[in-house]
Amino acid sequence: MSLQQDREELRQLLKAKSVKTGKFTLASGKESDLYVDCRVTTLDARGAVLVGRVLHGLMRAEEEKRGVQVQSIGGLTMGADPISLAVAMQTIHAGDATPVPAFTVRKEPKGHGRGKRIEGNFAEGQLVVAVDDVITTGGSTLKAIEAIEEEGGKIAFALILVDRDEGGREAIESKGYPVVAAFTRADLV
């Protein structure tokens, strides 16, 4: 299957499983007529495969465009977790010369052990992709970016599954971080 066919299948799956209309209060506190629960799609077996393929393609294209090579991929738990892992796995399935491992950012540092905020395959000094499932205001993505930078990571760009087109992209980019989104609100409603 082509990347365009995968993207269309993923779009249809998101529309069928993840997009809800009605009256909702979002994580940002804003009221909205649209709710996008990407986890229903990203934690679906077929959805995970499609997310891996589509976002891997976007990630590699953005790397080439920017002349960079990312060393790890991750974001704020829990929305970013299945996406990061799907993309990391696709770097193996695609036969990439340099597979990209995944990590997760805790909402709060762990209260025991080493008290880590970032778990998994992350090291100080790495160039990383910050992942999020949905952006509305950009707050969750910026929270992940802040944690990554506090631990010594460098952000190549943010990779987003769905941009709700409600100012999140602009908020993230105003801080100097490029945003690459697979889908926008218009693609899904």
pLDDT at 110: 65
Is the Cβ–Cβ distance between 171 and 138 less than 8 Å?
Answer: yes
CA distances from 129 to 1, 22, 48, 149 (A): 26, 33, 18, 12
The token pair at 103 is 């990590």
| 110-136: average pLDDT | 88
What CATH class does 3-188 carry?
A: alpha beta
pTM: 0.94
pLDDT at 114: 61
Asked if residue 113 has pLDDT above 70, the reply is no
Q: Where are the domains of the chain?
A: 3-188
Is residue 167 left, alpha or beta, with left meaning phi > 0 and alpha meaning psi from -120 to 50? left
Burial of residue 176 (number of CB atoms within 10 Å: 0-12, 13-18, 19+): exposed
Asked if residue 24 has pLDDT above 90, the reply is no
Is the Cβ–Cβ distance between 9 and 31 less than 8 Å?
Answer: no
| 88-103: average pLDDT | 97
pLDDT at 112: 62
| 32-36: average pLDDT | 87
- Residue 156 is classified by DSSP as E
Q: What is the pLDDT of residues 55-67, one digit of tens each?
A: 999 999 999 999 9
| 43-68: average pLDDT | 98
